[in-house]
Structure formats: structure tokens, C-alpha cells
A and B are shown apart, each in its own frame.
Chain A
Amino acid sequence: MCLAVPARIVELEDDNAVVDAMGNRYSIRTTLTPEVVLGDIVLVHAGFAIATLDEEEAKETWALFAELEQFKNTQDKLSG
């Protein structure tokens, strides 16, 4: 439930933002991280940014998610 995903802010107006996480775009609120600016990478939980992250950390997490996705696909193929 406390899962949070890094995403880059690609649009920002007041506390409404659109973020990009590995090519998926969706709307979030930045109410809890008022310091963010366009282009920042944030940790998103349940539709809200809860922290800013550096690029390296975000890349590591994205790579891990991509690996999991690949693993899942392999498993699906094996079981299907």
C-alpha cells in the first residue's frame, strides 16, 4: 500500500502536475512537495508527490521495474 514510484514532472500548474514514469503519463498533485519545479523527479504515492529524488536513484528504480516486468512476461509465456 505504501508503494511509491519515481516519475518526472512534465507539466506543472499550481499543485497540479502531469508526470511521466517509464513512458506512462498521469496526473498527480504536488501539494505535499511545494518546492518542486518542472523537470524534477518525484516519488509518487496514491496520486501525490511525497519527496523529490535524484536522477540516479530514479533510474535504478525504473531499471528494477523494467526487470520485474520482463520477468513477469517470461513467467506468463512459460505458464501460457
Chain B
Amino acid sequence: MLTRICQAQALMESACDAVGRQINIMEVCGTHTVSIFRNGIRPTLPKSVKLLSGPGCPVCVTDQGYIDVTLDLALRDDTIIATYGDMIRVPGKAGSLETLNRKNVKIIMSTIDAVDLARQNPDKTVVLIAVGFETTTPATAVAVKQAAAENLTNFCVLSGHKLVIPAMNALLSDKNNKIDAFLCPGHVSVIIGSDAYEPIVRDFNRPCVVAGFEPMQIIEGIAEICRQIAKGTAENGSIYEVAVTAKGNATAQRIVAEYFEPYDGYWRGLGKIPGGTLRLVDEYSQFDAMKRFNIDEIPAEELGGCKCGEVLCGLIDPPDCPKFETKCTPDSPVGPCMVSSEGACSAWYKYGRRRKQNK
């Protein structure tokens, strides 16, 4: 292990010397963000390597309008809200799913739990709060498939599922972006495969390297990116080969394509991203909560004064937000980047004792 760390560090140092300027690497995965902070990786990197935490936390990128719609649906007497635990504390205009303190809000471990709730409660409509990237979407598709097979007409999905590649595209299309390369998400890539980053590499000439979550993998991923930048090349590849293949999980891709289609939906901080959000295809629209409850469009809204949007784009670090650590803490979060344990603000706060060492 020590030899590998030394090799990676030597590679990074020599690459940085050759490049002679700051190298900005964005991780697009909340689990990477947490691992980087928890393992104290930032202080071990050369001074000219700067890590940016991008829009890699699904809860954080979920727009305010979506949160408000979930709260409205939770306040009805004819619904059961089935949600993953990390969504319940995200604040909207009327509080959060937690502070509403409603008995109809149920935390699930799997989408199948939501289907079970629908079967057990035929007089209520179960709304699955479907948030997550490509890793999580296949499970929602399976739930719809099962509900359709059982003809469970009281089950529906409020889809906030997001796609990583359109977001990377949007970030690089902004002329003010400072991103030199992406450290690509491990478990998203299990599903989509490392070849999926080829358009980013080709169109924007930015290295895209998939890494796992162990500290060694992250350090080696960063070293590989530095090597490519020093060499003046951009390649897509994976150093998480045990789980990530070039083509990904074909079964999962197939089931998602059968039930979902991309559309231009809102992301927090990034606005409307072309083809960045998923909705159910027309054939399964009876399971679409938007149609079930006659919601035309999820409105674009931002909570005033919170700089989560700029944090998500890598434009500022969390301590640059005036609310950070003063008005916004994990116990009393203002924005989703502090709510989610995978949010950049939460990671900065939690490992704050070491913050002065972080760049």
C-alpha cells in the first residue's frame, strides 16, 4: 500500500511540475466527496492539485420545486409518501418531510418496500419519491414493472432521477468553468460503463477517470488524471475494473430505457439541463405522480440566500458561503448540501477540525 501511495504521489508531483499551473479536478460523486474528506486525502496532494466537489449528491442537486411538490403531496390525506431516508430533512417552503411530522411519510430501504406499501394500503395512493442517479434508477424501474404486473393502480412515482453525463456536459459548456478533468463516479459507472464518458472526452478534451471509493483508488485516479494532463492527452478509463466494465450493466440499462425517458428538468444551481432528468414514458404514465395529481411542471425555485448552487458547480468552497457554520449546520441545515451526509457542505463541516489543512 505504502509503495503504491509513494508511486502515485511521485507521479502527481512530476506531472504538476510539468504542467506548471493549478490542476482542477472535479469529483461528481457524493461518496467520493465523503471518502476524500474522511480519509484526509486533500492535504496529501500536491499544492497545485485542487479538488472541486461537483453535483454528485442526488439529494443536493434535487431542485427546490421538487421538494415543495413532495411536501404538498405529503400534506394530502389520501397519500403515503415512500422515501429514502436522506430526503426527509431537506427543507422546502413549508418545512421538511420530517418537520411536517405526518404519519403518512414512510422511510424505505428499497423501492420494493414502496410497492409493498401500495399492496397493503389499497385506499391510499403511494408516491415513491424517486431521487438518485443512474445507480438508483433501475430499482425504480423494477418497482414500476412489479406494480404494473400486479395492477397496483394506487402506486406512482415522482421521478427526480438525474443523469450524470448531461450535467458534466452542462458544466463544461459554461465558459467560466475551471474544470480540467473529472474523477468519475464508481457506482454510477457500474451501471452506465466507462465508455459512457467518451463524448465528454471527445467533445471537451477532458480526462474522465472512474475510481472506486477506497482511498488508494481515489489517489491513483487523481494521479492518472495528472499524468494525462501533463502528457496533454484526455482519455476515458476506469481504475475500478473489478466492478466497472466498459459497457456497464446491460440489464439495468435495458429496464431503465423501457420505463424512462430523458427530458429537460431543473437541477439545483445548474438550472434546466437538456436531457438531464428522467420521467416515465407515456406507456406507463398511469404510474407518473405528476399526471396522477395533475401537476403540470415542477417549478424552478431556489431558497434565498443559500449558495448550494454555486458549491455544486465548483465555483465556491462551502466556507465561502456566509451561512456556512453560522446559520447553516447539520443540526439546522439551510440547504441540501448540508442536509445530505454526502453533501460537500456536510463533509466540510464534519471534518472541519482539519479544515485549515484543506485547500
User: Using a CB–CB distance below 8 Å, which chain A residues touch chain B?
Assistant: 1-4, 28-29, 31-34, 43, 45-48, 50-51, 53-54, 56-57, 60-61, 64
Most chain A beta-carbon contacts within 10 A, residue among B188, B190, B191: B190
- Could you list 18 further interchain pairs (A-B, Cβ under 8 angstroms) beyond the known A33-B251, A57-B242? A1-B31, A1-B131, A1-B132, A1-B340, A2-B132, A2-B135, A2-B187, A4-B187, A29-B112, A31-B251, A31-B255, A32-B138, A43-B243, A45-B135, A45-B139, A47-B113, A48-B139, A51-B190
Q: Is the CB of A2 within 8 A of B30?
A: yes
Q: Which one, A46, A50, A60, contacts B249 given CB within 8 A? A: A50
List B contacts of A54 (CB < 8 A): 242
Cross-chain contact B242 with A1 (CB below 8 angstroms): no
A51 engages B255 (CB within 8 Å): no
Q: Which residue of B lies closest to A50 (CB)?
A: B190
> B58 within 8 Å of A by Cβ?
yes
14 A-B contacts (beta carbon < 8 Å): A1-B86, A1-B132, A2-B29, A2-B136, A4-B190, A29-B112, A31-B251, A32-B251, A33-B251, A43-B190, A46-B136, A47-B111, A47-B113, A50-B249
Q: Which residues of B contact A3 (CB under 8 A)?
A: 31, 187
Q: What is the minimal beta-carbon distance from A63 to any residue of chain B, in angstroms?
A: 10
- Give the top 6 A-B pairs by smallest Cβ distance, nearest first: A47-B110, A57-B242, A2-B187, A2-B135, A32-B252, A48-B139
Which chain A positions have C-beta within 8 A of B334? none
Known: A1-B84, A29-B142, A64-B214. A51 touches B249 (CB 8 A): yes
- The answer to whether A50 and B187 touch across the interface, beta carbons within 8 angstroms, is yes
Contact with A along B29-71 (1 / 0, CB 8 A): 1110000000000000000000000000111000000000000
| Chain B residues near A (Cβ < 8 Å) | 29-31, 57-59, 84, 86, 109-113, 131-133, 135-136, 138-139, 142, 185-188, 190-191, 214, 242-243, 249, 251-252, 255, 340, 342
Point out the residue from A34, A46, A53 that lies within 8 Å of B251, measured CB to CB.
A34
Main secondary structure of the interface of A (DSSP, over half): mixed
Please measure, in the bound complex, the distance between the C-alpha atom of A45 and the C-alpha atom of B249, giving whole angstroms: 13
CB contacts (< 8 Å) of B136 on chain A: these are 1-2, 45-46
- Tell whether, in the assembled complex, residue A1 and residue B59 are in contact, meaning their CB atoms are under 8 Å apart: yes
* Known contacts A1-B132, A1-B340, A53-B242: A61-B214 contact under CB 8 Å: yes
Q: Are B110 and A32 in contact (CB under 8 A)?
A: no
Closest to B187 in A: A2
Q: In the complex, which residue of chain B has the Cβ closest to the Cβ of A60?
A: B214
Contact B139 A2 (CB under 8 A): no
Contact of B243 among A28, A47, A51, A56 (CB under 8 A): A51
Q: Given the complex of chains A and B, what is the CA–CA distance between A30 and B269 in angstroms?
A: 36
Q: Cα distance A48–B111 when bound, in Å?
A: 9
Chain B residues with CB under 8 A of A43:
187, 190, 243
Q: Complex: how many Å from CA A46 to CA B29?
A: 16
Cβ-defined contact, B255 with A32, below 8 A: yes
A4: B residues at CB distance < 8 A: 135, 187, 190
A48 CA to B144 CA, complexed, in Å: 14
CB–CB A50/B58 < 8 A = no
Choose among A47, A56, A60 the residue that contacts B139 (Cβ–Cβ < 8 A).
A47
Contacts of A33 in B (CB 8 A): 249, 251
